[in-house]
Amino acid sequence: MRFIILFLFPILCFSQTDSIFIRKIYDEALLRGKAYEDLRQLCKDIGPRLSGSSEAQMAVEWSEQKMKSYGFDKVYLQEINVPHWERGTKETAWLRTNRGELTKLNILALGGSIGTDGILTSEAVEFKSLDQLKEAKRSQVEGKIVFLNQPMDAAQIQTFKAYGLCYGIRGNGAVEASKLGAKAVVIRSLGLPTDHNPHTGSMHYEENVEKIPAGALSTQDADLLSNALKNGKIELILEMDCRSYPDAVSYNVIAEITGSKFPNEIITFGGHLDSWDTGEGAHDDGAGVIHCLEALRILKELKYKPEHTLRVVFFMNEENGNMGGKSYATWVKEKGEKHIAALESDRGGFSPRGFGCDGTDAQVKFLQSLAPNFTSYDLHVFEKGYGGVDIGPLKESFPGIPLFGFIPDSQRYFDFHHAPSDVFENVNKRELELGAAAIASFVYLLDLQIK
């Protein structure tokens, strides 16, 4: 593949022509941009977009029509099958002291959880981490509701590292609690602020381990419960009506500008169209799909003729299965396409900081060679890193392909991640536009430098 030659011999990619064109990209995004209004429509006219829901289907139809309105060379759908889980009636929870005093708690079921089959009441037992739970004796847990109260580490400067360090309580808490005979598990939400918004997210079960209900308390209520447990026995009262259904048909939504020299060589960039069913999926990942749509629109508006085919993909089902990403990688390989690079935006709509590269040392050096083009735009992070969940499966279909991840500022992301507060009003217009301009500029340079 030709991109291997480039990445073995990276060059400094800075010219007057590039500088002028990138300035035009930023002017278009900041002065005549469509990103903020497009995100408003996705969030307000469609709403939350959980895979298998009617809102997810409406989001597919909205996306297809929006792409067609921008006059791209091709707009089409890729049919896929996705999991279908529904939250049902709003969850409720209370704590009850040994004196009979009741306090209502803010709780959300974790994605994929079973319901409680009516009201479930049992004594709560607290653990500070998943490892602490694993070390517990069955007699400490059996018949109780496990409360996993591990906060995100606020000392971590990069908040995604803090998220990764405590992800296990959400992903594996139900399995480990069930092994010890627990009736249910509730976790401290994976969020940095102390507030009343619970954060949902995916969890999983294992074969031959009994399924138990799993929910997330707001960080504020997790503190309340923890403090109450210091004063004596506490009962938790839960009701969750969630359930799973057979897989549903859905779609990845795709738009292209055909390459003028190498039409069968594809640069994919995109994000995920689905979201959790709380909030509006504004930062996760409405901002990401709109970043990439706007980037392609800007390049077309500026009459840029790419050498390679530029393809934007709105992936479906990143949140609870990644069937969009997996199906796409298999599908394009079976079609005999040649994929030379991919980029994902799935870290929110905050101020751009740079790009990461999931690739070889030579590919990382190539990324770093692009940095001078962005000095005037306050981007400074060009490093080895992570591409994204949706584009990750392309590594298996196209060994050696470099995957790039757009990196915005992360400090506020976990204020909103998977929470009811992830709404359009919490996305800043200028920050969103700067992100779209950064991605358009990066794709432009990537297209030119692959020889």
What percentage of the chain reaches a pLDDT higher than 70? 97
pLDDT at 450: 78
- The residue ranges of the chain whose pLDDT is under 50 are 1-12
Q: Give the chain as a 3 state SS string.
A: CHHHHHHHCCCCCCCHHHHHHHHHHHHHHHHHCCHHHHHHHHHHHHCCCCCCCHHHHHHHHHHHHHHHHCCCCEEEEEEEEEEEEECCCCCEEEEEECCCCEEEECEEECECCCCCCCCEEEEEEEECCHHHHHCCCHHHHCCCEEEECCCCCCCCCCHHHHHHHHHHHHHCHHHHHHHCCCCEEEEECCCCCCCCCCCCCECCCCCCCCCCCEEEECHHHHHHHHHHHCCCCEEEEEECCCEEEEEEEEEEEEEEECCCCEEEEEEEEEEECCCCCCCCCHHHHHHHHHHHHHHHHHHHHCCCCCCEEEEEEEECCCCCCCHHHHHHHHHHHHCCCEEEEEEECCCCCCCEEEEEEECCHHHHHHHHHCHHHHHHHCCCEEEECCCCCCCCCHHHHCCCCCEEEEEECCCCHHHHCCCCCCCHHHCCHHHHHHHHHHHHHHHHHHHHHCC
Q: Summarize pLDDT for 210-248 with one digit per residue, the tens.
A: 999 999 999 999 999 999 999 999 999 999 999 999 999
CATH number for the domain running over 2-85+246-449? 3.40.630.10
pLDDT at 178: 98
Residue ranges of domains in the chain? 2-85+246-449, 90-241
pLDDT at 15: 78
pLDDT at 14: 62
pTM exceeds 0.75, yes or no: yes
pLDDT at 6: 47
Residues with a known catalytic role: 318
What is the domain class of 90-241 according to CATH? alpha beta
pLDDT at 16: 86
pLDDT at 4: 44
Q: Summarize pLDDT for 10-50 with one digit per residue, the tens.
A: 444 567 899 999 999 999 999 999 999 999 999 999 999 99
